[in-house]
Structure 1
Amino acid sequence: MSRKRFENKVIVIPGSTSGVGKASAVAFAKEGGKVVVSGRREDCGEQVIEEIKSFSGEATFVRADMASRDDIANLINETIRIYGRIDVAFNNFGKHTEAIALIADYEEECFDAHMNISMKSMWLCMKYQIKAMLKQEKGNYAILNSSSISGVGGGWPFISVYSIAKSGVDSMSKSAAQEYAQDGVRVNSLGGGFFDTEMIHTYFEELAKFHGITKKELDDQINKSIPLGRLATPQEVANTVLFLCSSEASYITGASIIIDGGMSSKYL
C-alpha cells in the first residue's frame, strides 16, 4: 500500500470554509493530512469537517477572523495544542470585494482595510507559522500564500488597492523564502486567476455594476480573455496547492506559481 503524500502531516489553512480553501482542506485530508480548517463562518467550517470525517479523514475547526491579530495567533496556538506541530500552511485569504474604484476615489478606510487583510494579516500568519516551524526539528516545511495575477503582472485598473496588496504578498513570500531556506522552510505564493467560487462571482457582480453591464456580459468577456475559455474549478486549484506543499516540490521556493488558464501569458 503506497504511502499518502501528507500522512501524519499537520496542515493549517486560514480561509478554508469554502471555495479553494475547502477543496484544498478535503484534498489534504484524503492524502493523509491532519487538517486545521479555519474561517469566520462556523457553520461552513463544521460542514467541511463533516465532509472530511465522512471518508475517515482527520480535521479540526478553529474559528478565526483574519482581521484579528489575536485570532491569528490563537489559530496557530490551537494547532500546536491539538496536534503538536505545523508542517504545512496554506494562507488562503484576502479581501477581494469592495475593491473596485478609480485610484483617486478610494476612501482611506477602504485602502487600510485591504492592506490589513490581504497583506498585514498574511505577514502575521507567516510570522507565527514560521516561529512554530523553527521550534520543530529541521525538516521540509511549506508555506503557500494566496496571491493574484493582478499582483504578479503589475497594477490592474479599477482594483489597484487589491493589486497593490497582492504584490506585497508576493514580495513578502520571496523575502521569507530567502531568509528561511536553510531552516527547511519553503515559501511560495500562488498567483491565481479567476476561479469558480462564491467570492469570485460576488466580485464579478460588483465589477459588472461598476462598468454598467450585466454579469452575463462580464462573464462572457472574462471567459474570452482566458485562453482555456473558462474559470478554474476549486479542485483544479487544490491539485496545484497540494503539489506545491508536498515533498515533490522540494526544490521550489521563492516562486509565484501562476494558475490562470493562460490569462496572463499575453503580458508576462
Structure 2
Amino acid sequence: MDETNGKTRRRLLVAGVGAAGVVAGAVGAVAAIRGAQAPAVVEPGAARRFENKVVLVTGATSGIGRAAAKLFAHEGARVAFCGRREDRGRAVEKEIRDAGGEATYIRADVRVEEDVRAFVEQAVSVYGGLDVCLNNAGISIERRLHELSAAEWDDVIGTDLRGVFLAIKYQAPHLIERGGGSIVVTSSSNAVVTSPGRAAYAAAKRGLIGLVQAAAADYAEDGIRVNALIPGTTDTELVRRLAGAIDLPDAAWAVMRDAWGTSNVPGMGRMASAEEIAAGALLLASGDLPYMTGNQLVLDGGKTGRAA
C-alpha cells in the first residue's frame, strides 16, 4: 500500500476542506475536480479458481486484505485470516459467511512470532492444509528519517518486513507438505520510487522485493511460487489515516482523495480501490500464471511508469 507524505497531506487537507467549504457542498466539489474518474467495478469471478483451496490472508480486517479475503471466498476458497482488531475480524468473518462463503478469523499480530505460528497452525487444523498465502499486513509511520524514533522504525520494519518473514517461515512447511502452492506478498510502489517521510516504509517494502526473490529461489523445487504485488496509492483506511482525514466526513475525504489522484497519478488520475488491488492478488495466487515466480505485478495506475 502506498501513502501520501506529510507535505502532500497538509496540502490536501487545505484543498479538500476548502473545496468542500461545508460538508453539504463536498459532493458537488468532487464532481468539479477535473479528470476525476470513478474506480472500475470489480465483479467477483465466476470461475471459482480457488474451489476447496485453503487460503491464508494476513492483515485482512480492512483495506486490501479484507477485499481479497472476500474475493477468495467468493471463488470457493476456505479463508483463514488474521488481524489485531477482533471486532473488525469478526465483522469480516460474518460478512463473508452471510454471503455464502467460508472464513475463519484468528486474532494474530504479525510482529509476534508465537502469534504467527499459532495463526498458521490453527488455520491448517481447521481446514486441513494450506494452498495459498497472501501476506498483506502492513503499517506506516511517516516522518523525516531523523525524526523517527528507533521504536517507530522497528515497528514498521517489524510489521511490514519481519512479519512477512515470520509468515513464510511457518507457511512454507505446510505448502511443501501439500506438494506446492502460491505465496503473494503485498509490497508497494514505494519499493520502486518514494518521496519524503517514508524512510521506514520504503525500506521495508523494498526489502520485501529481495525477500520474495530469495524465497522464490528457495521453494521453486517444491512447486511453490512466490511473487510480490506492487500497489499504488489505494483508497483504504490506512491511507486515509495517514492523510489526517480519518475523522473527516466521507464527502470531505472524497474531495481530498480525488484531488490527490488528479495531481499524482498520470493518466488514470485517481487512487485505486481496494478491490482493484485485491483482484491482482488473486491473479498472482491463482494457476493463471504458472510460470511466474520471484517477480512483481505493478498495479499503480501508471504512477511509477512515468517517474523521473
Quote how far apart the aligned CAs of 1:186 are. 0.5
Q: Does 1:111 align with 2:150?
A: no
Give the Cα–Cα distance (whole angstroms) in 2 for the partners of residues 69 and 189 of structure 1: 22
Quote how far apart the aligned CAs of 1:215 are. 10
Give the one of 221, 232, 235 matched to 1:196: 235
The answer to whether the 8 A contact 2:260-2:270 is kept is no
Give the Cα–Cα distance (whole angstroms) in 1 for the partners of residues 281 and 116 of structure 2: 21
Quote how far apart the aligned CAs of 1:41 are. 1.2
Give the Cα–Cα distance (whole angstroms) in 2 for the partners of residues 57 and 251 of structure 1: 29
Aligned to 1:78: 122
Give the one of 38, 50, 56 matched to 2:94: 50
Inter-CA distance 220–84: structure 2 relative to 1 (3 Å threshold): same
- Does the residue aligned with 2:233 lie in a helix, a strand or coil? coil
Alignment-mate amino acid for residue 70 of structure 1: E
Inter-CA distance 248–202: structure 2 relative to 1 (3 Å threshold): same
- Deviation track 1:198-234 (CA, whole Å, cap 9, x = no partner) reads 111111228xxxxxxx996686244311021111111
Give the one of 60, 81, 87 matched to 1:37: 81
- Does the residue aligned with 2:76 lie in a helix, a strand or coil? coil
Quote how far apart the aligned CAs of 1:14 are. 0.8
Give the Cα–Cα distance (whole angstroms) in 2 for the partners of residues 156 and 3 of structure 1: 40
What's the TM-score, normalizing by structure 1?
Answer: 0.90
The answer to whether the 8 A contact 1:5-1:32 is kept is yes
Give the Cα–Cα distance (whole angstroms) in 1 for the partners of residues 257 and 129 of structure 2: 45
Pairing of 1:3-18 with structure 2 (within 5 A)? 4-18=48-62
- Does the residue aligned with 2:195 lie in a helix, a strand or coil? coil
Aligned to 1:167: 206
Quote how far apart the aligned CAs of 1:105 are. 2.3
Quote how far apart the aligned CAs of 1:135 are. 2.1
Alignment-mate amino acid for residue 125 of structure 1: A
The answer to whether the 8 A contact 1:204-1:215 is kept is no
Aligned to 2:184: 144
Give the one of 247, 253, 267 matched to 2:287: 247
Give the Cα–Cα distance (whole angstroms) in 2 for the partners of residues 50 and 76 of structure 1: 20
- Does the residue aligned with 1:258 lie in a helix, a strand or coil? strand
Alignment-mate amino acid for residue 67 of structure 1: R
Alignment-mate amino acid for residue 58 of structure 1: E
What's the TM-score, normalizing by structure 2?
Answer: 0.78
Task: Point out 4+ residue stretches in structure 1 off by more than 6 angstroms.
Answer: none
The answer to whether the 8 A contact 2:157-2:204 is kept is yes
Structure label with greater radius of gyration: 2
Aligned to 1:210: none
Give the Cα–Cα distance (whole angstroms) in 2 for the partners of residues 240 and 49 of structure 1: 22
Give the Cα–Cα distance (whole angstroms) in 2 for the partners of residues 60 and 118 of structure 1: 23
**Alignment RMSD:** 1.9
- Deviation track 1:78-135 (CA, whole Å, cap 9, x = no partner) reads 0111111110000111122xx2222222211111111111111110001111122112
Give the one of 62, 66, 71 matched to 2:106: 62
Aligned length: 255
The answer to whether the 8 A contact 2:235-2:257 is kept is no
Higher relative contact order (CA 8 A, sep 6+): 2
Give the Cα–Cα distance (whole angstroms) in 1 for the partners of residues 260 and 285 of structure 2: 33
- Does the residue aligned with 2:244 lie in a helix, a strand or coil? helix
Give the Cα–Cα distance (whole angstroms) in 1 for the partners of residues 258 and 155 of structure 2: 27
Give the Cα–Cα distance (whole angstroms) in 2 for the partners of residues 21 and 3 of structure 1: 21
The answer to whether the 8 A contact 1:204-1:218 is kept is no
Pairing of 1:204-223 with structure 2 (within 5 A)? 204-205=243-244, 220-223=259-262
